A = this chain, B = another copy of it.
Amino acid sequence: MTSEHPSTPQGPIHRRTPEGDNRERLVCGECGFINYVNPRVVVGAVCTWEDKFLLCKRDIEPRRGYWTIPAGFMELRETMMEGAMREAREEADAEIEIDALLGVYSIPRISQIQMIYRARLLSPDVSAAEETQEVGFYSWDEIPWSDLAFPTVHWALNHWREVEGQTNFAAFTEGPMGV
C-alpha cells in the first residue's frame, strides 16, 4: 500500500453541512459526493401453523444460538411484504401467507425500524436454511422466552397474542414516541 495507490478507499471523510441541508454529513471535499447514511429496515413475520409458532435458532451473530422469528434486512426493489416472505424462505424454507401488519417498531438507538407481519404457513414443511441452526414449532407455553434473540421478538409474539383472532387493528408501536 503506497500513497500513489491508496488501496483502501474510505469514501468521504469531511464532516460538513451541505448547502440546503441542516445537519452534518460526511462529504468529499473534491467531488462533492455526500454520503447520506439512512436508517435500516428489517422485515419479518410471526408465522404460525395451526396453534404453533415457527421459531429459528440463529446460526449467525449477533445472538447466534438464540431463537428468533424469520426476519432480516429489506433488500432493494422489493416491497416490505415480499421482503418478509423472502426472509421466511431464506431462513426456514417456509412459504407463508401474510394477513396483517402486526408491529411497526422504531429502534432509534441503532437507527433501525422493523416491520413485522402476521402470517400463516402454507405447509408445515420447514427446515433450517442459511443462517439458521434449527427450526421448530412451539405452542405459546413452550416458547423459549429466556432464549429469544431480541426484544422485538418478544414484542411481536406478545402483540400477536394481543390481537389473536382480530382482523382490522392498528399495528403496534413500542409506545407513543416509539420507545
Contacts and interface: CB of A to CB of B under 8 A. Distances in A.
Interface of A: 1, 3-4, 6-12, 20, 22-23, 28, 30-31, 33, 36-41, 60, 73-82, 90, 100-101, 104, 106, 108-109, 111, 113, 115, 130-131, 168-171, 173, 176-179
B31 A81 contact: no
Main secondary structure of the interface of A (DSSP, over half): loop
B23 A178 contact: no
Given A81-B178, A82-B177, A31 B60 contact: no
A23 B75 contact: yes
B90 A104 contact: no
Given A41-B113, A130-B20, A171-B171, A79 B177 contact: yes
A124 B53 CA distance: 48
Contact of A177 (B81, B171, B178): B81
A178 B84 CA distance: 12
Contacts of A40: 38
B76 A37 contact: yes
Given A11-B9, A20-B130, A104-B101, A169 B171 contact: no
Given A38-B76, A80-B173, A170-B170, 12 more contacts: A1-B30, A8-B30, A9-B9, A22-B130, A23-B75, A36-B73, A41-B41, A41-B113, A76-B111, A81-B106, A82-B106, A101-B170
B80 A104 contact: yes
A56 to B, nearest CB: 16
Contact of A170 (B4, B80, B100, B178): B100
